[in-house]
Structure 1
Amino acid sequence: MKQLLWLIGICLTLPLNAQHFEEFFEHRTLRVDYIFSGDSKKQQISVDGLSTYPIWAGKTKKLAINPLKGNGSIRVNDETTGELLYTYSFSSLFQEWLDTDEANHIQRAFENTFLVPFPKKDVIITINLFDISHKRIAKLSHKVSPNDILIEKKGFEDITPYRILQRGNVKNPIDVAILAEGYTAHEMNRFYQDAEKAMESIFNHEPFKSNKEKFNFIAVGSISKDTGVSIPHKDRWRATAFGAHFDTFYSERYLTTRNVKSIHDALAGIPYEHIILLANTDQYGGGGIYNSYTLTSAHHEMFEPVVVHEFGHSFGGLADEYFYEQDTMTDIYPLDIEPWEPNITTLVNFESKWKSMLKEGTPIPTSSSDTKSYPLGVYEGGGYSTKGIYRPAFDCRMRTNTFANFCPACQAALTKLINFYTD
């Protein structure tokens, strides 16, 4: 009964003036599962399934606007008029994999799930994937009819148990779901404590601290058979709710899962837009993918700064600001193209980044010896490269775990995104 009353409360707080939304959509969710597959030479997209949830937790305004470009986009168009009704952007683990050496030798397939408001009329949904040069590498358009009998109902009953950690007090708060990965039924109390700690870690950082009332946080008690998560380089395998493991792309610290559908199945019927998975392990690592999920170790000593860093990726689309002294890795970000991430620049289109925030007379680029004079500058090194890519501050939460805060440019980018979703 408490679940039902809370869900009704969410529905009652939806904007009353969202006439455009209500003209084209119902206040429930259409979930579309896709398979992204291929190799470095050829990529394709396939529809894997359609389902519906009883509520909609996403945006009801600015439906045809993307605040960030991302590495892909989903677009919903009216079939009759062609009008763009809804869109949002994302990145994917598949696109990261395309830049690995393995992608030159073998084909792989990756699950991807996207949520859009449930249409009242027939629509055309289009998925676009872009490469590191922002060129489209794959596209799929398909028709969806709201009366399709094969749209499966999910989340109408048997909802995964959850606790409300934080309830925002604005009309359309941002819904963040925290899931348990590698916690058995007997460890749920520990998970809920870890989820509270993760949320508080995020709220300890600006601009989340000043915008706390704009967020709902929910802890979802997804149960695993085994304790812990898989660590392949230690030959340690665990049967967990979402099959998370370290050694993604053979990088020991990269903790991810490709079982995306199981994540969304666990969340069916629960309002959510952004996802954090907490791994029941003290092994160091994590990962964050824009508009997909954050996944991080819950019991390593650096858990608190890491979960905030990874949420900067998955929620804010922020880039890594660290770099490797021995390897410029300039193939990650082409130096003749401006990255879409708001906190790094190649200076190709610096006007679109934090240039307007700079103190008058700030040298471009800014020397590392001038950090006291220019806390916000244009410091070389970022996006994994020592040369040709620049970051806003000498240090930042997106660069090191030991630095306490997001830099001013990252804070401004996060604030802009929070306001986009809630104003």
Structure 2
Amino acid sequence: MRFDFFHTGNSKTEVFAIDKIASDGLWSGSLTVLIDELELGPYFYEVIDKNTNVLLYSRGFANIFGEWQTTPEADQVWGTFHESLRFPWPKNPVTLIVKKRDAKNVFQTIWTTHVDPASREVNPADIIHTEKVTTICENGPAQDKLDIVILGDGYSTIEMDKFNKDAKRLSDVLLSAEPFNTRKNDINIRVIETPTQESGVHKPHPGVFKRTPLSVHYGSFDSERYVLSYDNRTIRNIASAVPYEFMVILVNERTYGGGGIYNLYTTVSSDNKYSDYIMIHEMGHHMAGLADEYYTSSTSYEAPSVELEPWEPNITAFLDKENLKWKDIVTEGTPLPTPWNKEEFDKHGYQIQRERDSLRAAKVPEEVMEDLFLRQYNQEDEYFSKEKYKDAIGLFEGAGYNQYGLYRSQLDCIMYTRHTVFCKVCQRSINNVIDQYSK
């Protein structure tokens, strides 16, 4: 069942309105792990039997509204975003509860509504699909595996071969990274073709204006590299052609960009030199709710002040010294916090960001930006090679858009730099999610 609704509000208020309740095709989730014990994400929903009050299903999630709510624009105007909650078709009437973390990071109910599957307002008919579907890998029934669907935007009709090759290439990239490589037999990947009339997508900053089937665009929240689509209904309708829990939208562009929102989707600029990095990094956000560990790059939303322990599994404020999230795997003999040459590294990082902003403003060719990223990559390698604790699991200050007060577990990780390796803490978090859908 797919429960579609409108999420409206500003920086301080949010309200909800039901749009449509209908079939979303074959249920792909586990038939045994129905209760979300990971409790990740800024939002959480529960499906409860209305008569017995038994919890039937729950999941954590993030959304575009929640990110938009932290932007300066939300202080001035109201915004509305379309969203979906998906759960097994209930046999009897259910209560649907949506929760959000409060100022102390505790989930509090913000919306309660009811769903009667026998109601005339609920449509059990499946969408009749005409899209072409192919399979990259299928390792078992959808209910027993983690299922990924890949869509494309900005690929013209004559570029479908390119789209399928891009989908295969980036799937192989993902499955070559740990822990996906070890767990690849627990993963299914399917592809749905969504051709456009012309090549490329909407890029308002450089003045490239286009209309595409999925409405994917650069410049989300006025951040030139942030690639999203606000057309949730269209995307969900197309994706329902196959069973899926996680979604990738490949963008037929060379311009650096992407995005990843927990339990929503991942976007990847498929032709960029760093598309491998973008794919793996953004799937970390989308699948496991991993936080960005960098802090010298500009972002489109405001970083929260460090007053509470963040919910993300890969960063910490280290407020509870006895209960570090990854205490059980800290490398023996590693001091906490762990010393590293942070001042010099940060100076380098901020200099790169200034160069990056200047080059973007000058609208230089993409290969110039790629050369800058390569120089940054090589310089970071040089810095890390000199560090005493470069391979240790410890507590390194600087994470989650905060230069001070938040910590990451290892010196380097794909959530911190463009090196395409997850740290051990991130790998464990991803494994937990794969377990949720394959056991």
Q: TM-score, normalised by structure 1?
A: 0.88
* Residue pair 1:328, 1:385 contacting (<8 A) in 2 also: no
Query: In 2, distance between residues paired with 1:68 and 1:158?
Result: 34
Instruction: State the partner residue of 2:403.
Output: 386
Gaps of 5+ in 2: 342-386
Gaps of 5+ in 1: 1-29
Q: CA deviation at 1:152?
A: 2.7
Instruction: State the partner residue of 2:262.
Output: 290
Instruction: State the partner residue of 1:353.
Output: 325
Out of 423, 430, 436, the residue aligned to residue 407 of structure 1 is: 423
* Residue pair 1:277, 1:296 contacting (<8 A) in 2 also: yes
Q: CA deviation at 1:159?
A: 4.3
Instruction: State the partner residue of 1:11.
Output: none
Instruction: State the partner residue of 1:82.
Output: 53
Instruction: Describe how 1:178-327 pairs up with structure 2 within 5 A.
Output: 178-324=150-296
Instruction: State the partner residue of 1:395.
Output: 412
* Residue identity opposite 2:207 in structure 1: D
Q: Secondary structure of the equivalent of 2:66?
A: helix
* Residue pair 2:6, 2:18 contacting (<8 A) in 1 also: yes
Instruction: State the partner residue of 2:376.
Output: none
Matched, 1:144 2:115: yes
Out of 88, 102, 108, the residue aligned to residue 79 of structure 2 is: 108
Q: Secondary structure of the equivalent of 1:119?
A: coil
Query: In 2, distance between residues paired with 1:113 and 1:80?
Result: 24
Query: In 2, distance between residues paired with 1:378 and 1:328?
Result: 24
Instruction: Describe how 1:161-180 pairs up with structure 2 within 5 A.
Output: 161-169=132-140, 172-180=144-152
Q: CA deviation at 1:410?
A: 0.9
Instruction: Spell out, residue by residue over 1:100-139, the C-alpha distance to the aligned partner (whole angstroms, 9 max, x if none).
Output: 1111000000111121100001111112233565256772
Matched, 1:420 2:420: no
Out of 4, 16, 39, the residue aligned to residue 10 of structure 2 is: 39
* Residue pair 2:40, 2:60 contacting (<8 A) in 1 also: yes
Query: In 2, distance between residues paired with 1:279 and 1:353?
Result: 35
Q: Secondary structure of the equivalent of 2:393?
A: coil
CA RMSD of aligned residues (A): 2.1
* Residue pair 1:382, 1:389 contacting (<8 A) in 2 also: yes
Q: CA deviation at 1:51?
A: 0.8
Instruction: Spell out, residue by residue over 1:399-419, the C-alpha distance to the aligned partner (whole angstroms, 9 max, x if none).
Output: 111x13111111111112212
Identity of matched residues, %: 31
Q: Secondary structure of the equivalent of 1:53?
A: coil
Q: Secondary structure of the equivalent of 2:87?
A: strand
* Residue identity opposite 2:401 in structure 1: Y
* Residue pair 2:391, 2:411 contacting (<8 A) in 1 also: no
Work out the number of aligned pairs and report it: 392
Matched, 1:377 2:394: yes
Q: CA deviation at 1:372?
A: 3.5
* Residue pair 2:127, 2:237 contacting (<8 A) in 1 also: no
Q: CA deviation at 1:35?
A: 1.1
Query: In 2, distance between residues paired with 1:31 and 1:328?
Result: 32
Instruction: State the partner residue of 1:344.
Output: 315
- Which protein has greater RCO, CA pairs closer than 8 Å, 6+ apart? 2
* Residue identity opposite 1:146 in structure 2: P
Instruction: Spell out, residue by residue over 1:38-86, the C-alpha distance to the aligned partner (whole angstroms, 9 max, x if none).
Output: 1012111221111113421012123123313211111100001111110
* Residue pair 1:328, 1:387 contacting (<8 A) in 2 also: no
Query: In 1, distance between residues paired with 2:92 and 2:276?
Result: 45
Query: In 2, distance between residues paired with 1:122 and 1:221?
Result: 36
* Residue pair 2:221, 2:300 contacting (<8 A) in 1 also: no
Q: CA deviation at 1:226?
A: 2.8
Q: Secondary structure of the equivalent of 1:114?
A: strand
Query: In 2, distance between residues paired with 1:139 and 1:181?
Result: 34
Query: In 2, distance between residues paired with 1:85 and 1:387?
Result: 41
* Residue pair 1:154, 1:268 contacting (<8 A) in 2 also: no
* Residue identity opposite 2:204 in structure 1: P
Q: TM-score, normalised by structure 2?
A: 0.85
